[in-house]
């Protein structure tokens, strides 16, 4: 406890009515006691170094300044300062919400290292300061460079080990699917989400799996990838593991070579649509061939009919002239033979001729003889057409 004294001021010589002032004087005879508080004084996790919360608690009956200076430095396992890490100075402000004889200074520090930290690295903390009476800070640790608070740094590691089972099949041929089985085992110090991918040619992701892993239970996960061997040769495959901190590891898949398939297998596996295409082409060719045959047959029958007519007109003289104008015959439209109603039964010998009725009907109406009439009727002419184009006078 501080010692207190009561003092009286000197009387005012100008008046006898104003009493002397009474003053209370306390003498601070004790040094302030420092305690450094961290979230965990046993170890500082490396991923928390950029935002490390710290409290400086001072037990003091007198008055303390508004800020205290905190010093930090990275050291190795033997306490030797790291070569590339200098001493850092931090001004820690007073928390005005604190009351009584306890002064609390709070801040969040950025202690990100300059270089990558190795196992065994520690952080040294110490504070330099004094109270209003000039008493320096005291405490068990952390009050000077020679008696700092030393806390180990827990280096965060996201590491896994990947092993591969036997490939199935061991000697594939082009077109087959290879089963790649990878066993992922957590060996790091941090848990989190893990993305495991099968990658071809360093950047083409074939497939991937995402799951949680933790070092506490020594978790092990088996993943299976199906890789389709599209080409003959040795593919460049790897399993890439991406961790929660953005780092990744690459593991090379055991090498295998896809052989060239046998000719029959190659023809069947080259494309599943080849038989379908061949079938469609065959159908189209068959239909086109059928159409061509039908067209050619119709053209041949038509040419034969008109050839017979031409031969006939060149051999016979229907009207007594030396020739018949075939051009007139060509322009005559084809007509469908019309059925002729059979006349009443006539006991005439001409009925033995199947065209006797037409010949009888044309009697006196045409200049053609019976043989010519029969030929025209067989070619599809009707009685009226013959009578129209070949009248008795021989002029159409």
Q: Is the per-residue pLDDT at 69 higher than 80?
A: yes
- b (16+ CB within 10 A) / e for 33-45: ebbbebeeeeebe
**143 C-beta neighbours (distance < 10 Å), count:** 21
Question: What pLDDT shows up at residue 333?
Answer: 53
Question: What pLDDT shows up at residue 5?
Answer: 54
Question: What pLDDT shows up at residue 62?
Answer: 83
Residue 372 corresponds to which tokens in the numbers above? 């010519």
- The per-type count for the chain, helices as H runs and strands as E runs, is 6, 17
**175 C-beta neighbours (distance < 10 Å), count:** 18
Question: What pLDDT shows up at residue 90?
Answer: 97
Q: What does the alpha-carbon distance between residue 54 and residue 287 come to, in Å, rounded to a whole number? A: 90
Which pLDDT band holds residue 345 (cuts at 50, 70, 90)? very low
Q: Is the pTM of this model over 0.75?
A: no
Q: What does the alpha-carbon distance between residue 54 and residue 44 come to, in Å, rounded to a whole number? A: 11
Q: What does the alpha-carbon distance between residue 357 and residue 373 come to, in Å, rounded to a whole number? A: 11
Q: What does the alpha-carbon distance between residue 59 and residue 75 come to, in Å, rounded to a whole number? A: 29
Closest CA to 190 of 162, 160, 224: 160
Residue with the bigger pLDDT between 113 and 330: it is 113
CATH class of 160-252: mainly beta
Q: What does the alpha-carbon distance between residue 45 and residue 390 come to, in Å, rounded to a whole number? A: 122
| Coil vs helix vs strand at 286 | helix
Question: What pLDDT shows up at residue 344?
Answer: 47
Lowest mean pLDDT among 50-64, 120-134, 154-168, 271-285: 271-285
Q: What does the alpha-carbon distance between residue 132 and residue 318 come to, in Å, rounded to a whole number? A: 154
3-154 placed in CATH 2.60.40.10: yes
């Amino acid at each position: 406890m501080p010692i207190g004294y009561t003092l009286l001021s000197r009387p005012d010589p100008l008046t006898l009515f104003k009493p002397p002032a009474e003053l209370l004087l306390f003498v601070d005879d004790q040094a302030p006691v420092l305690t450094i508080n961290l979230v965990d004084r046993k170890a500082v996790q490396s991923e928390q170094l950029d935002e490390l919360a710290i409290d400086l608690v001072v037990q003091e009956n007198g008055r303390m300044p508004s800020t205290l200076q905190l010093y930090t430095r990275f050291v190795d396992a033997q306490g030797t300062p790291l070569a590339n890490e200098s001493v850092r100075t931090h001004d820690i402000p007073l928390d005005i919400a604190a009351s009584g004889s306890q002064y609390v200074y709070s801040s969040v520090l950025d202690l990100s290292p300059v270089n990558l930290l190795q196992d065994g690295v520690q952080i040294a903390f110490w504070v330099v300061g004094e109270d209003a009476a000039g008493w320096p800070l005291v405490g068990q640790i952390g009050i000077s460079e020679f008696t700092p608070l030393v806390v180990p740094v827990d280096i965060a590691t996201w590491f896994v080990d990947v092993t591969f089972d036997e490939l199935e099949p061991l000697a594939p041929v082009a077109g087959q699917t290879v089963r790649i089985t990878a066993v992922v085992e957590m060996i790091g110090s941090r848990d989190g989400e893990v993305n495991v991918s099968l990658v071809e040619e360093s950047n083409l992701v074939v497939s991937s799996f995402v799951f949680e892993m933790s070092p506490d239970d020594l978790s092990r996960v088996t993943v299976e990838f199906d890789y389709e061997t599209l080409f003959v040769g040795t593919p460049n495959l790897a399993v890439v593991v991406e961790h929660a901190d953005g780092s990744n590891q690459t593991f090379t898949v055991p090498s295998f070579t896809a052989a060239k398939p046998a000719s029959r297998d190659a023809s069947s596996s080259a494309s599943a649509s080849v038989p379908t295409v061949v079938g469609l082409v065959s159908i189209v060719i068959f239909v086109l061939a059928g159409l061509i045959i039908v067209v050619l047959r119709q053209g041949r029958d038509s040419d034969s009919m008109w050839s017979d007519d031409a031969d006939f007109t060149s051999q016979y003289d229907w009207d007594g002239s030396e020739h018949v104008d075939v051009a007139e015959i060509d322009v005559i439209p084809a007509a469908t033979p019309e059925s002729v109603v059979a006349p009443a039964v006539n006991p005439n010998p001409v009925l033995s001729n199947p065209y006797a009725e037409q010949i009888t009907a044309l009697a006196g109406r045409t200049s053609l003889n019976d043989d010519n009439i029969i030929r025209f009727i067989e070619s599809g002419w009707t009685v009226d057409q013959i009578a129209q184009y070949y009248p008795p006078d021989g002029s159409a």
